[in-house]
Structure 1
Amino acid sequence: MTDPGQAPRRIGIVEDDAHLRRYLCEVVAADARLEIAFAAGDVAGATQRIGTGPIDLWLIDLQLPDGNGADLVRRLKAGSDVKCLILTVLGDRTSVIAALDSGADGYLLKDTDPRALVSSILSALDGYAPISPQAAHFLLDLYQQAARTIRPASDEAALTGREQEVLRLFSRGLSYREAAEVLQISAHTIRDHVKAIYRKLSVHSRTEAIFEARQLGIISSSD
């Protein structure tokens, strides 16, 4: 665990609920190994803190009034190796996958016990990936699903070259319409490809499809 003799690790908190934000500050500040670098209520306030001083870990809510926490994580990770820990009320499959796909170093629910929260922060700082049991359930399910999905390239589940192109464009954030324009095909054709992708990978959303394709090596993590 974190060396108790070193300087306190600086934590940034991004949470729009003022009462919860104060509570989180109290929980973090109560541990001598940690200190509050800042506490912001939205993406704009958090963005102003980027590059203004050392921050060892960002504790980020997913649902913010002016944006999504996963997008903020993606931006932070693009510019540094800072640790980002999601703390949210959202425990659904899509939210978990989207957050972890953005590069988050862990996923906790807001009902996490204060001691467990501090332990998770320290664990993330030490290079581990703390995940609430509810979120871990989805990851286990995805792993098992991926194991069942792996088949020879000649199998029905193998994606065509065009379907792989569509997934790569989606992984870069393009919409149906934008992907259609890049590939010079109709949006209707894109939807047909998406239906085939979902069926072959046994998924129900673009985020799940991208995750599965990366796990299977169909597209790379850099796509």
Structure 2
Amino acid sequence: MRAIRVAIADDQQLFCSGIQMLIESQPDLKFVGAAYDGEAAIALARAARPDVMLMDIRMPLLDGIEATARILDATDKPNAPDTDTRECSSDDCATILDAQPKVIMLTTFQRDEAVVRAIHAGADGFIMKDTTPEFVLASIRTVYAGHSVIAPSDTADIIRAQTSQKYREPTAESISALSAREKEVFLIAARGLSNADIAQTAYISEATVKSHIRNILAKLSLTSRVQIVAHAYENGLLR
């Protein structure tokens, strides 16, 4: 199996060095570079093509949120990725060239309002910078497997805290592309419930829940369940 390629962008070089040593201690992970500001982070993502990128929210020149948005821009393709073809088969290398990195935001505040903007930028989650090394490693492997490292329920709490004083007129047209059943699942999922809880609430199977979630994400051009939560709150569909 090809090792998971990991990069970090953080303006604290000592922190980056610590992450590098942590990554290099794992046989299934490969450290592919560090950047110390937002613009350098974009250049690193283009050159090294990491599978997972740890991204500090606040950095010089360009913050991590804008850097993430530019990195994940589907129209922004690299010209000459620095891929070591000696370490992967032709199929593996094609995957590296085609795939966009998963981005984990790094923050020092549990209720950081910037997390909401990071979610919209396409981040796959966030972790605290003072978390344990074991959790950092677990988070990298989790997002690489296609999951988020921020629970939808946590996202709901963060967004609720940011919008609790602001009344938003409900905009039902924001989910008009969904079928009646998909709208029902959307509103339940937006409360941060798990697939099992959604299935129990809507009286459907978990497999059906997963199918509805996939359709919802595709129809609303969202990338994750945490974006479902953000979409619902921002359009006044939850209180």
RMSD over aligned Cα atoms: 3.5
Tell me how far 1:124 sits from its aligned partner.
0.5
Most deviating of 77-86 and 109-118: 77-86
Indicate conservation of the 8 Å contact 2:7/2:34, yes or no.
yes
Tell me how far 1:211 sits from its aligned partner.
6.5
Query: Which residue does 1:171 correspond to in 2?
Result: none
Q: Identify which of 51, 54, 57 aligns with 2:46.
A: 51
Query: Which residue does 1:139 correspond to in 2?
Result: 156
- Counterpart secondary structure, 1:78: coil
Indicate conservation of the 8 Å contact 1:101/1:211, yes or no.
no
User: Cα deviations across residues 80-134 of structure 1 (Å, max 9, x unaligned)?
Assistant: 6321111121333412211112110011000110011101100000011012x8x
User: Residues 27-176 of structure 1: matches in 2 within 5 Å?
Assistant: 27-79=22-74, 81-131=100-150, 137-140=154-157, 142=159, 157-158=169-170
Query: Which residue does 1:10 correspond to in 2?
Result: 5
Tell me how far 1:145 sits from its aligned partner.
10
Structure with max Cα Rg? 1
| Residues in 2 aligned to 1:211 and 1:66: alpha-carbon distance in whole angstroms | 32
Tell me how far 1:210 sits from its aligned partner.
7.0
1:31/1:101 CA distance change after superposition, 3 Å: same
| Residues in 2 aligned to 1:211 and 1:93: alpha-carbon distance in whole angstroms | 19
1:157/1:35 CA distance change after superposition, 3 Å: same
- Counterpart secondary structure, 1:59: strand
For 2:118, give the aligned amino acid: A
- Counterpart secondary structure, 1:64: coil
User: Cα deviations across residues 143-192 of structure 1 (Å, max 9, x unaligned)?
Assistant: 7999xx9xxxxxx9346x9xxxxxxxxxxxxxxxxxxxxxxxxxxxxxxx
Q: Identify which of 14, 29, 42 aligns with 1:19.
A: 14
1:128/1:158 CA distance change after superposition, 3 Å: closer
TM-score by length of 1: 0.60
| Residues in 2 aligned to 1:158 and 1:129: alpha-carbon distance in whole angstroms | 27
1:36/1:138 CA distance change after superposition, 3 Å: same
Unmatched 5+ residue regions in structure 1? 1-5, 150-155, 162-207, 218-223
Identity fraction in percent? 22
Indicate conservation of the 8 Å contact 1:15/1:40, yes or no.
yes
TM-score by length of 2: 0.56
For 1:137, give the aligned amino acid: D
